[in-house]
Amino acid sequence: MNIMNISSKRCFTVITILAVAVAAALTATPGKPPVEAQKKNSDEIQIVLDFVDAWNRKDVDGIMSYFSDDPIYHNIPVEPTVGREAVRASVAGLIGISETVHWEMINIAQSGNSVLTERVDSMLINGTMVDMPVMGTFDIKDGKITEFRDYFDMGMWNTQTKDLF
């Protein structure tokens, strides 16, 4: 075994690593996420992100614009709400009791036409902040939400809101 060959291989490896690091540093933009994080959201994920933004603005018309003609809105601990008018009444009721609404997106993922969210939904109700960890599923067809299911702990909701209504 020739010591010179081993040293040459190591030297080549170190130079290659340094060259890659320098190239990455020269092409990086400060404050800009890596290329993997810059990929465009799918249409379905963008619909859900825009829907959440409408909730954060307390925009009932905006929220309803994302639903299909015959949507289902199901807060899993209670009976589902079916149809545009019933869904609108449910949305307007929740928006109406909330001084502020903020849905914080923790994680979002997609499987086929379903978008899955992990969120913390916060609402200021009668001067008290109510924070609910939520897992949501959005089924989307032709650019509209056909079914929206939220999974949360009803006991936690009842504990936080027991003196608010």
Residue corresponding to tokens 């609910």: 132
Query: Is 53 assigned a catalytic role?
Result: no
Sequence letter at residue 19: A
Residue 132 lies in a domain: yes
pLDDT at residue 129 in the model: 97
Instruction: Judge if 66 and 8 occupy the same domain.
Output: no
pLDDT at residue 17 in the model: 44
Instruction: Judge if 70 and 148 occupy the same domain.
Output: yes
pLDDT at residue 60 in the model: 98
What is this structure's pTM?
A: 0.75
pLDDT at residue 30 in the model: 53
Instruction: Judge if 15 and 51 occupy the same domain.
Output: no
pLDDT at residue 12 in the model: 45
Specify whether the CB–CB gap between 148 and 91 falls below 8 A.
no
Instruction: Judge if 60 and 12 occupy the same domain.
Output: no
Question: What is the end-to-end Cα distance of the chain in Å, rounded?
Answer: 83
Instruction: Judge if 15 and 54 occupy the same domain.
Output: no
Residue 32 lies in a domain: no
Per annotation, catalytic residue among 139, 150, 153, 163? 150
Specify whether the CB–CB gap between 74 and 152 falls below 8 A.
no
Q: Read off the CATH number of the domain in which 153 is found.
A: 3.10.450.50
Query: Is 50 assigned a catalytic role?
Result: no
pLDDT at residue 34 in the model: 47
Domain enclosing residue 10, as ranges:
3-27
Per annotation, catalytic residue among 69, 121, 139, 142? 121
Instruction: Judge if 75 and 18 occupy the same domain.
Output: no
Q: Which residues pair with 134 in a beta bridge?
A: 119
Provide the residue-wise pLDDT of the chain in tens; the chain has 165 residues. 444 444 544 544 444 443 343 444 444 445 544 444 445 789 999 999 999 999 999 999 999 999 999 999 999 989 999 999 999 999 999 999 999 999 999 999 999 999 999 999 999 999 999 999 999 999 999 999 999 999 999 999 999 999 988
